[in-house]
Amino acid sequence: MIITDTHTHLYSDAFDDDRAEMVERAIKLGVKRFFIPAIDSSYTESMLQLEKDFTEHVFLMMGLHPTSVKENYKDELAHVEEQLSNRTFCAIGEIGIDLYWDKSTLEIQIEAFKHQINLAKKYKLPIVIHCREAFDEIFDVLEEEKSDDLLGIFHCFTGNLEQAKKAISYNMKLGIGGVVTFKNGKIDQFVNQIDLKHIVLETDSPYLAPKPFRGKRNESSYIYKVLEKLSQLYGKSVEEIADITTENSKAIFGI
């Protein structure tokens, strides 16, 4: 059984004291593939070091996170372009729109999102979308930019069934993580109405730890709790769900 964590911030300083041990715990549980989203240029060096340290298991994305779209966003986008021209990445991400922290930057967030979608098309890469309190805005951009060769993952999906179906219509898989185990997470109420071919697993560690670790530091080994919950909801074995979701991740990332 191979489990794939399609979204984990392994470079986070939350792991500085035990990063190698934490990764080893996950690998022993069957988590063999870790996909690492970018945030901004300040994390690039740490990401590249992760790849060196865990060559067989770690795969890097490149992109500008919407909460890092500030006054210097054009410089940051130039950094993204420079990195993409220098080496291979598995995806453009995480990119998108976040209206939870700062609504005043919406215009430049949209600009940065569109720009990076076009980079994904140029380099024939999938996108990994960050969406917080911005489903309508994200869907407006996807409607404008949609194409047969644009595909990706709606990271940390927390919408409703209608929004899930709409995301899938734009060639997006749904990234399901710890929220599916929350009492108030709501996605557990409908996720089994979505064919597993549209689902990938993620932790978003060190954030959003599943029950019974909610409120604590999340880590990739805890993805097993997500698997167990989906096993209950779909009435399928943990192994079968791990296999299907890993195959789905291969279809997106080509790895």
pLDDT per residue as tens digits for the range 72-121: 999 999 999 999 999 999 999 999 999 999 999 999 999 999 999 999 99
Measured distance CA(248)–CA(4) in Å, rounded: 10
Determine contact, residues 220/23, Cβ cutoff 8 Å.
yes
CA 89 to chain centre: 14
Q: Which architecture, in CATH terms, is 3-253?
A: Alpha-Beta Barrel (3.20)
Model confidence at 185: pLDDT above 90: no
Measured distance CA(153)–CA(233) in Å, rounded: 21
State mean pLDDT over 121-127.
Answer: 98
pLDDT per residue as tens digits for the range 23-59: 999 999 999 999 999 999 999 999 999 999 999 999 9
Residue 153: strand pairing partners: 128, 173
